[in-house]
Amino acid sequence: MGLAGTLNALNLSSLSSLISLNLTSNKLYGSIPPTIAALSKLTSLDLCTNNFSGIIPLQIGSLTKLNSLNLSENQISGSIPLWLSTIPEELGRLVNLLDLRISYNQLTGSIPTSLESLTKLEILYLCENQISGSIPHEIQNLISGQIPHEIQNLVNLRDLEINTNLLDGSIPAGNLVSLTKLDISANHFDGSIPASIGNLTKVELLHLFENQISGLIPNEIQNMVSLKDLEIYTNLLSGSIPAGIENLTKLEILYLFENQISGSIPHKIQNLVRLRDLEINTNLLHGPIPAGIGNLTKLKILQLHENHISGSIPPSFGSLTNLTDLPLFDNRLSGSLPQEFNNITNLKLLDLTNNNFSGHLPHDICKGGVLAHLTLNNNHFGGPIPKSLKHCTSLSRVRLEHNQLSGDISENLGVYPHLWYINLSFNKLFGKLSSNWGGCHNLSFLGISNNKVTGNIPPELGKLTQLQVLDLSSNNLLGEIPKDLSKLTHLYNLTLSNNQLVGEVYPEFGELLSLEILDLSANRLKGRVPEQLGNCTKLRVLKLGNNHLNGSIPFQIGNLVSLDDFLDLSHNSFTGEIPSQFGKLDKLQDLNLSHNELTGHVPPSLSYMISLLSIDLSYNKLEGPLPNSKIFQNASLEWFIHNKGLCGVVKGLPSCGSFTTSKDDSNKHHKLLLLIIVSSLGSLFLLFLFVICALLILIRKEHTRHAASIEGGEYSIWNFSGVDAYKSIIEATEDFDDKYCIGTGAYSGVYKALLPSGEFVAVKKFHPSGIENSPSMQTFWIEIQALTQIRHRNIVKLYGFGSN
């Protein structure tokens, strides 16, 4: 139907002869009106699956001829007066009720004791509410022990569903001999399962799951021979599975998982030939899998994972041709998989993780073409990946890592349109990465690390727009990193370490704004680190160590304020100073800049890196005092050895006071020596006076000639263009490439440049620091002032200076 609105507009008094009212599955809302009492002849009232709210009206108790009342799947609620549950006591007047359903509402409070009067009741559904308290004593007497004479009995009750409430206390069960369905799951019942439950011989469905039931499964359960569905999972049951369970030959579903059940799987479980779903995982079961389990040919789901089961998988598993799900992970199983596995053609999920399996994988493991989840990691499987997997396009998740698989993967794997996760790491696979990977468009995780894979990284990987993790580390990969990888905007882990990759770290890597882990360490990368990496502000780990990178460390790395694990730039050829911006990395725990050619002082700003646990600056050319902060006070001397002249708080380094005194004494010695030399030279002044006069004449002539030669030169004041000169220098030195470097100092490097005019000039380039008053900038201005005031034929002429 498609009715909408409320019932308040109806003149119910004009319908006094109505016998049945069914308004189920509409869009009715509002409260159930008290005028419902006018329908005094009603025998059936069905208002389920609407949007009724408010409380159940008290007047509904006047409908004494009702034998079916269904108010399920609404929003009935309301406040609870102390003397009244939201399930009104008036329901107890409906003595002709056969069927009472008020499930899937928002009812609260307790179950009213007046329900004891509903002696004809066959179906009682109160599930999916917020009913609390214990089951009333009066009702307990109806379902356990002797039925009191004064209230007679509810022997006609067939279905009792009070699951998913807040009920507590012990389980009431026993003499409701007409019950076929008992569901008290998802409550707070505790205690043990009473032995009297064996009296419920007509029960086909018994749901006790998600409570706090403890103790043993009683042997009397073997008397419940009508059981088809037995679910007691997620409780605190202990002991073994009772042997008498073999009598429950009608069982189709048996759920005992997530308990503390011990012992072995009963051999006679093979008698439960109607079982479709057997889930006894997450317990303390041990011993082998019974060979007779092959008799359960109707099984679709067999879950034995997370136990202590040992031994091998029996060949009889080949008879389970209807099996779709087989998770056996986290056990102690061993041996090889029987070839009979090839017969399980309906298998969709096979999970054998964390066992001790060995041998080859079955060659037709995907014979049925429906295998989706194949997780066999952390075993000892060997041999090649089965060829049948190449055409197994149903695969969506594959985990084969941490085995001993071998063989060539160049052609053994195909295109998988549904695949989103594959990990082949930590095996002995070889061959090249196929371009087919680019066709797995849904792939979000690709891991093939720690193998023997060679060749180049295929640029087709740039088509995997959903990729989040790419780990190809610890192989023998060659060539450059494809620029196409910069298209993977969802990538948060790019690990290519321990290969033989060459080329540069491209500026395009700065477009990977989702990156959290970038590990390119232990390769043969060269060139400068692009400043664009500073755009990857989500980075938590940055490892570029053990390469051939050079130039200065970009100060933009200091913008990576999310770095909290590693920043490793060690074992390269970085020059210049440590950027002071590193002080912003206050989450970083491990900083390694060792084995480079860094110069200058350690920035005081590093004292703001309050999370540091390790800082390695060894094997550089650093000097001066170390910051006086906790990480340096507790640091190991090994982190600072083999530098130019570090001093400070680290035990084993000289104090900066004694370091300065030593330098002052050395200066005094040089001053004294200078005075002695100057005084001795004074006596020769007269001797050279004549020579000097003669030289002045020659110098004047030479100066005139030199000025004439310079007049039309490249750097003549009349011809000089700063932009053109800078461009010429950049071209002549190939942007200050190291091969043109003829000398380095603490703050600068000197480069030889051949200009277009054919002239050779020396260009001194100061290392950038990014700080206005840094030592390198001060040295720059001092040297400029000196060279503009000095004229000597043994001192090179200053043609110009500038800043870019």
Q: Which of 203-207, 451-455, 464-468, 694-698 has the lowest mean pLDDT?
A: 694-698
**Which uninterrupted H or E stretch holds 799?**
none
DSSP conformation class of 502: B
38, 64, 474, 602 from 10: Cα distances, Å: 11, 21, 77, 86
Q: pLDDT confidence of 154, banded at 50, 70, 90?
A: low
Pairing type for strands 566-568 and 277-279 reads: unpaired
Q: Which residue has the tokens 């119910």?
A: 12
- Alpha-carbon Rg of the chain, whole angstroms? 42
pLDDT score at 705: 43
- Taking the CB of residue 573, how many other CB atoms lie within 10 A of it? 14
pLDDT score at 294: 95
pLDDT tens digit string along 298-314?
A: 999 999 999 999 999 99
Residue 128 has pLDDT above 60, yes or no: no
Q: Which residue has the higher pLDDT, 130 or 545?
A: 545
Q: Which residue has the higher pLDDT, 712 or 359?
A: 359
Domain ranges for the chain, please list them: 507-652, 720-804
Closest C-alpha to 117, from 144, 94, 148: 94
Strand order in the sheet with 27-30: 4-5, 27-30, 51-54, 75-76
Q: Which residue has the higher pLDDT, 265 or 778?
A: 265
CB–CB of 56/88 below 8 Å? yes
pLDDT score at 678: 35
Instruction: Give the Cα separation of 760 and 732 in Å (integer).
Output: 10
Residue 355, C-beta contacts closer than 8 angstroms, at least 6 positions apart = 328, 329, 330, 331, 332, 333, 334, 378, 379
Q: pLDDT confidence of 50, banded at 50, 70, 90?
A: confident
Closest C-alpha to 516, from 544, 542, 540: 540
Q: Which residue has the higher pLDDT, 730 or 112?
A: 730
Exposed/middle/buried for 804, CB within 10 Å: 0-12, 13-18, 19+? exposed
Backbone angles phi, psi at 18, to 5 degrees: -65, 135
Give the angle subtended at the CA of 644 by the CAs of 640 and 649, to the nearest 5°.
45
Residue 616 has pLDDT above 60, yes or no: yes
Q: Which residue has the tokens 């990496």?
A: 533
Average pLDDT over residues 481-486: 96
Residue 693 has pLDDT above 70, yes or no: no
Backbone angles phi, psi at 79, to 5 degrees: -75, 160
pLDDT score at 102: 65
Q: Is the dihedral of CA 666, 668, 673, 674 positive or negative?
A: positive
What is the per-residue burial (b if ≥16 Cβ within 10 Å, else e) of 138-162?
bbbbbbbeebeeeeebbeebbbbbb
Average pLDDT over residues 321-338: 98
- Taking the CB of residue 249, how many other CB atoms lie within 10 A of it? 12
pLDDT tens digit string along 538-595?
A: 999 999 999 999 999 999 999 999 999 999 999 999 999 999 999 999 999 999 999 9
Overall fold of domain 507-652: 3.80.10
pLDDT tens digit string along 627-682?
A: 988 889 989 999 999 999 999 999 889 988 755 444 444 443 333 333 323 333 34
DSSP assignment of 602-630 equals PPGGGGG-TT-SEEE--SSEEEEEPP-SH
Average pLDDT over residues 216-223: 96
Closest C-alpha to 95, from 22, 151, 20, 12: 151
Exposed/middle/buried for 701, CB within 10 Å: 0-12, 13-18, 19+? exposed
CB–CB of 220/200 below 8 Å? no
Q: Which two tokens stand for residue 367?
A: 């014979």
Return the percentage of the chain with pLDDT > 70, whole number.
76
CB–CB of 349/370 below 8 Å? no
Residue 773 has pLDDT above 60, yes or no: no
CB–CB of 584/608 below 8 Å? yes
Average pLDDT over residues 346-350: 98
Q: Is the dihedral of CA 664, 667, 672, 673 positive or negative?
A: positive
Report for 149-153, 239-243, 407-411: range of highest mean pLDDT: 239-243
Average pLDDT over residues 438-445: 97
Beta bridge partners of 430: 408, 452
Instruction: Give the Cα separation of 800 and 348 in Å (integer).
Output: 76
Residue 287 has pLDDT above 70, yes or no: yes
Helices and strands, counts by H and E, the chain: 6, 53
What is the per-residue burial (b if ≥16 Cβ within 10 Å, else e) of 663-675?
eeeeeeeeeeeee
pLDDT score at 803: 67
- Taking the CB of residue 8, how many other CB atoms lie within 10 A of it? 12
Q: pLDDT confidence of 338, banded at 50, 70, 90?
A: very high
Pairing type for strands 748-754 and 741-744 reads: antiparallel
Instruction: Give the Cα separation of 433 and 234 in Å (integer).
Output: 45
Pairing type for strands 541-543 and 517-519 reads: parallel
CB–CB of 545/524 below 8 Å? no
**What CATH number is given for 720-804 in this structure?**
3.30.200.20
Backbone angles phi, psi at 785, to 5 degrees: -60, -40
Q: Which residue has the tokens 């680190």?
A: 529
CB–CB of 135/105 below 8 Å? no
Q: Which of 138-147, 373-382, 572-581, 716-725 has the lowest mean pLDDT?
A: 138-147
765 annotated ligand-binding residue: yes
Backbone angles phi, psi at 514, to 5 degrees: -90, -5
Instruction: Give the Cα separation of 206 and 228 in Å (integer).
Output: 9
Residue 602 has pLDDT above 90, yes or no: yes
pLDDT score at 277: 98
C-alpha distance across the termini of the chain, in Å: 78
Residue 396 has pLDDT above 60, yes or no: yes
* Residue-averaged pLDDT of the chain: 82
Question: What amino acid occupies position 790?
Answer: I
Average pLDDT over residues 8-20: 81
Backbone angles phi, psi at 410, to 5 degrees: -55, -40
